[in-house]
Amino acid sequence: MSFIGKILGFIVGWRFGGFFGAILGAFLGHLGDKKIYEMGRVNSSFFKNKITRQELFTQTTFAVLGHLSKSKGRITEDDIALATNLMKQMNLDDAGRKSAQDAFNRGKQVDFPLRKVIQEFRIGCGQRADLLRMFLTVQVKAAFLDDELHENEKEVLYVVAEGLGLSRFQFEQMLAMEFAARQFSQGGFYQQQSGGHYQQGNYQGHSYQRSSGPTLEDAYKVLGVSATDDRQTVKRAYRRLMNENHPDKLVSKGLPKEMLEMAKEKAQQIQSAYDLICKAKGWK
């Protein structure tokens, strides 16, 4: 993000208002920088024109969803319903809905250049790790809405994760965290059974099934910590995740405002997991 607005605001504020004027000027300049960043346009060879970062996020989301759905062999009614419901949740207008539908249909094509699209998306988002992880989270949630992770879906997700800068180990770890996080949403879907382990970068030996609610083990996985970690370690992990998934910060970096509720849900999952750990440990 540009710092020009902050610098100019500080100088002008200092000139006319001294120290406090400079602080106010820098703050106003910061708001200006954010707005310019949000409205800034990026190049996309796949979408054939310059679009805003938020438009890039939305269209890439639906294009990859289309590709992910097709990877199972055919597009099902559930896949179409998922994309349609997501459009409704985002309250897209007619133009936005058409762009999303077009992107979804293009993603279904056999020659869809997944790696190239993800590379352009990563560059367009300024390689901001928190925003990129939020994008991957949306795709992971979509993949598991049918209660099953097809092997082809997993491979597509890994290509996406790799293109966004995650290693295989980090990708598998993220899957485990997302599974656990679902338990902290209303009507959580999955519980990870015991007995699995990491081996050579692959997450081995786990199966997933419906569960009645979150467990303490789920809470540890959501935060990426273990039962033996001390309070400081857990709190540090919690604060880092809350900072990375802060809805307003994500929107300012390019997350479409229409996806704000998804970001809020993610933050609530993290908060609920931390609260459960604190309660179990007797931490106040």
pLDDT score recorded for residue 30: 53
Closest CA to 57 of 155, 112, 137: 137
Cβ atoms of residues 37 and 67 within 8 Å = no
pLDDT score recorded for residue 249: 73
Beta bridge partners of 203: 198
E-only strand ranges, the chain: 41-42, 51-52, 191-192, 197-199, 202-204, 208-209
pLDDT score recorded for residue 207: 46
pLDDT score recorded for residue 179: 79
**What are the chain's domains?**
4-39 (no CATH), 41-166 (no CATH), 182-284 (1.10.287.110)
Per-residue pLDDT in tens (0 to 9) along the chain, 284 residues: 445 555 665 566 656 667 666 676 665 655 554 554 554 566 778 887 777 877 888 899 999 999 998 988 888 888 888 888 888 877 788 888 898 899 999 999 999 999 999 998 888 877 677 778 888 888 887 787 766 778 888 999 999 999 999 899 889 888 888 878 877 774 433 333 333 332 333 333 344 444 556 788 889 988 989 999 999 999 999 998 888 878 777 776 667 676 777 778 888 888 989 999 999 989 87
pLDDT score recorded for residue 275: 92
Lookup result for tokens 């133009």: 95
Closest CA to 276 of 227, 236, 210, 209: 227
